[in-house]
């Protein structure tokens, strides 16, 4: 019984081994035969087919060379791109600093401008007040001078101020008011 099992196992292993050997040899043979049939159907001779393969090898070699050149160029380009990207980041940082400085300067300038306008308004009010005081003083002084001059010349009815001097007039100018 053990001999029968052993015999049976040896037969099964032999069959499996033969099938594997056949598969190893038959598969390449079938592939080769299939390729041969395709070559035969394409009306190419083996020499033509060999030449085509050689042309393809040459083209592949040229393509590999071009690919290597492109790869080297891309690496160089990436290096330059990184360098300019760093410069761009640096410039962008400087721009942000300048924007911040400009904003602070602009705020300071706006504040100074506001203070300046306030000062101008205050001084304009002072000037307007002084102008009113000057006009009142000039009018009082002109009334006093021209009213006294009117005693000597009754035709005096007005005055004008010219070159910081009061001139009494018989016509035109600003009216005087003499009250007794």
Given a contact cutoff of 8 angstroms between Cβ atoms, the answer to whether 173 and 158 are in contact is yes
> The whole model's pTM is what?
0.44
Given a contact cutoff of 8 angstroms between Cβ atoms, the answer to whether 155 and 170 are in contact is yes
pLDDT, tens digit only, all 180 positions of the chain:
778 878 888 888 888 888 777 777 777 777 777 777 776 677 766 677 677 788 888 888 888 898 888 899 899 989 988 998 989 999 999 999 999 999 999 999 999 999 999 999 999 999 999 999 998 999 999 999 999 999 999 999 999 999 989 999 999 999 999 875
DSSP string, 10-66: HHHHHHHHHHHHHHHHHHHHHHHHHHHHHHHHTT--HHHHHHHHHHHHHHHHHHHHH
């Amino acid at each position: 019984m053990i001999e029968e099992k052993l015999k049976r196992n040896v037969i099964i292993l032999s069959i499996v081994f033969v099938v594997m050997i056949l598969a190893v040899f038959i598969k390449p043979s079938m592939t080769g035969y299939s390729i041969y049939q395709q070559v035969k159907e394409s009306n190419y001779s083996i020499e033509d087919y060999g030449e085509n393969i050689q042309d393809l090898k040459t083209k592949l070699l040229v393509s590999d060379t071009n690919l290597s050149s492109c790869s080297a160029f891309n690496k160089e380009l990436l290096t330059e791109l990184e360098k300019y990207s760093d410069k761009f980041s640096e410039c962008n940082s400087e721009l942000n600093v300048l924007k911040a400085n400009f904003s602070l300067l602009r705020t300071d300038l706006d504040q100074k401008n506001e203070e300046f306008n306030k000062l101008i308004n205050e001084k304009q009010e002072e000037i307007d007040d002084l102008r009113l005081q000057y006009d009142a003083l000039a009018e009082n002084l002109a009334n006093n001078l021209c009213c006294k001059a009117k005693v000597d010349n009754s035709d005096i009815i007005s005055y004008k101020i010219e070159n910081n001097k009061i001139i009494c007039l018989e016509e035109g100018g600003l009216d005087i008011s003499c009250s007794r």
